[in-house]
A and B are shown apart, each in its own frame.
Chain A
Amino acid sequence: MKFEGVDYYHIDDLLFDDEKMARNTIREFVDDKVLPIIEKHYREGTFPMHLVPEMAALGIFGATLPEKYGCAGLNNVAYGLLMQELERGDSGIRSFASVQSALTMYPIYTFGTEEQKDYWLPKLARGEKIGCFGLTEPDYGSNPGGMITRAEKVDGGFILNGTKMWITNGSIADVAVVWAKWNGVVHGFLVEKDFKGFSAPEMKGKHSLRASITSELVLDNVFVPDSHWLPNTQGLKSALMCLTQARYGIAWGVIGSAMVAYTTALDYAKSRIQFSRPIAGYQLIQAKLVWMLTEITKAQLLVLQLGRLKDQGKARYTHVSMAKRNNCEVALEICRVAREILGANGILDEYPIMRHSANLESVKTYEGTHEMHTLIVGEDITGIPAYE
């Protein structure tokens, strides 16, 4: 079955041909390669590794970075559309692409030396190497500035000590972008999987993002050579710049999940007969469907303008916060309402709704919780920080 998209307001007319083409190619890929296998991986709690080379061949990883590093030089709107289609498959697939692109390739591209870029970016683009991003710690989530992980300067490099938690791709990564304090200032380091004292045990027991690997990173006196320090990182701000990239992709991505929930609920409502007619004919159901479609349309317009601003260099991190905050919340709520419309069938894995709904519980929390984005925009408009 081909996915036709949801476009009540002819938003496609606002897209350029190559943006639509990029979206459509990933749309086909998701229909052909992701949807047939994803439920099985979700149930078993495994990530479909066999898709990595195919995603690489499509040019998904680091798609916005320059051709010089083996990337496609795509604009931000097209990149957002890729994220939307991947997340229509599953948030775990989009998370993989986000971590590889926005949280591994972007920091190397932005804060790395020319040697680091030349070495890592082409390999990461080709999917030969997998990356992860270690910021969150067991005791420091929303306030990563308090992190405990330390770097100590020694001859020829650094010694890293600490523990990171909730790290997407951790156990399958070849390289981790690890954030640690050196003399009280946060710096980024590239830690390779076989460095002595480094391990990345997988975290089990998730009810959400089951088709994605989440891990702890344990750094026990790990020696990281000077060549693996990202010299242009300047405190926590650098880590947050990466998050802004990833949050941008999430704001688009969750629209994919919302679209699946809406179209599934609409089709179901038109064919499910209770009492005398299809439930789509009842006002209460129509109110739900109309609300879903309206929120999807608003979310689409929000990210499209955000993407255009980003392409013009005018998007601020607070703009990204507003879109991430709004779109995650409405996407999750749309999944919940879609589940209601499907009645008991909504809880079955025959339909994708419960999987998306459970995934979005993570997506609403990671990359800055809903509350944190409220406080970020709140501070921006009032000038008063309300975090502490």
Chain B
Amino acid sequence: MQIVVTLSHVPDTATKIKISSDRKSIDPAGVSFVINPYDEFAIEEGLRTKEKFGGNVIIVSYGNDGAKESIKKALAMGADKGILIKGDLNVDSLTVAKALATKISELKPDVVFCGKQSVDYDSSAVAQMLAELLNLPSISTVVSLEFSDGKLKAKREVEGGLEIVESTLPAIITAQKGLNEPRYASIKGIMAAKSKPIEEATFDASQNKLSVNELRLPDSKRKSRIFDSEDASISELVRLLREEAKVI
């Protein structure tokens, strides 16, 4: 099977984000970047699919040179090859989807695994746009997956329950937490990754339609008020918390 996994190189959710002086992007200094956690489930599913049916796992990422670090980790986990499509980072989801689609269509995949969303901008849009551009069926937020007779059966999370769907191949799957437990990159895998290729491509992002005007951090000042025991408003506050906010 030709298995493609998309990978996004994102700031670690545990690091403190700072905004660059242009006020439109994240200042990468001092921020550690990781594989988008949902993409880790996608990589793991790709590897397991290969282990069952044979084939190749190819990682495709749109980003800058920094993304090579995450691609290398995916290769160390066991993927066979990486492709980095270099382009401007301040682009919209559609541009990213187009960049990925150009490469992925050349690869003629049987299945494409994506994370259900990327934890940097959280648009949850690229995979579905990619499916549209490639004219493929897509199944999102998948928590379990089975291939049989050239088809796939997937369980996906829906509000308050599970939906079980079937699709022809090729198809695009977006991975939800719970799909699997991603493996560690082993030491041998890390050594083997040194000789695995990372191909570079470029994409002309000039057709980008959506642009960021400004990024802001959430207001960090706590909007709190301290009441003292004499304060007459306490009973009013308790009433509001109970009746309006319904939290107590």
Contacts and interface: CB of A to CB of B under 8 A. Distances in A.
A59 B187 contact: yes
B191 A74 contact: yes
B186 A58 contact: yes
Contacts of A18: 190-191, 193-194
A28 B189 CA distance: 15
Interface string B151-166: 0000000000000000
A124 interface: no
Contact of B72 (A2, A21, A57, A58): A21
**Helix, strand, loop or mixed for chain B's interface?**
helix
B69 to A, nearest CB: 7
A235 interface: no
A28 B184 contact: yes
A84 to B, nearest CB: 14
Nearest to A21: B190
Contacts of B186: 25, 57-59, 72
A375 interface: no
Interface string A45-82: 00000000000011110010001000011100010001
B73 interface: yes
Contact of A22 (B12, B69, B187): B187
Contacts of A60: 187
Interface in A3-60: 4, 17-18, 21-22, 25, 28-29, 57-60
Chain B, interface size category, equals 10 to 19
Contacts of A2: 12, 14
Contacts of A4: 32
B222 interface: no
A17 B191 contact: no
A74 B187 contact: yes
B1 to A, nearest CB: 24
A18 B185 CA distance: 11
Contacts of B72: 17, 21
Most buried by A among B72, B76, B190, B193: B190
B14 A72 contact: no
A72 B184 contact: no
B216 interface: no
Interface residues of A, number: 20
Given A17-B72, A18-B194, A21-B73, A63 B187 contact: yes
A21 B184 contact: no
A22 B187 CA distance: 6
B225 interface: no
B31 to A, nearest CB: 12
A22 B190 contact: yes
Contacts of A57: 186
Nearest to B77: A25
A28 B184 CA distance: 8
Interface in B186-210: 186-191, 193-194
B184 A82 contact: no
Contacts of B189: 59
Nearest to A56: B186
Interface in A228-267: none
A72 B188 CA distance: 5
A110 to B, nearest CB: 21
A57 B186 CA distance: 7
Contacts of B184: 25, 28-29, 58
Contact of B190 (A25, A28, A29, A67): A25
Given A72-B191, A73-B191, A74-B191, A21 B14 contact: no
A18 B196 CA distance: 13
A94 to B, nearest CB: 15
A58 B183 CA distance: 10
Given A18-B194, A21-B76, A82 B187 contact: yes
Contacts of A28: 184
Interface of A: 2, 4, 17-18, 21-22, 25, 28-29, 57-60, 63, 67, 72-74, 78, 82
11 contacts: A2-B12, A17-B69, A18-B190, A22-B187, A25-B186, A25-B190, A29-B184, A58-B184, A58-B187, A60-B187, A72-B186
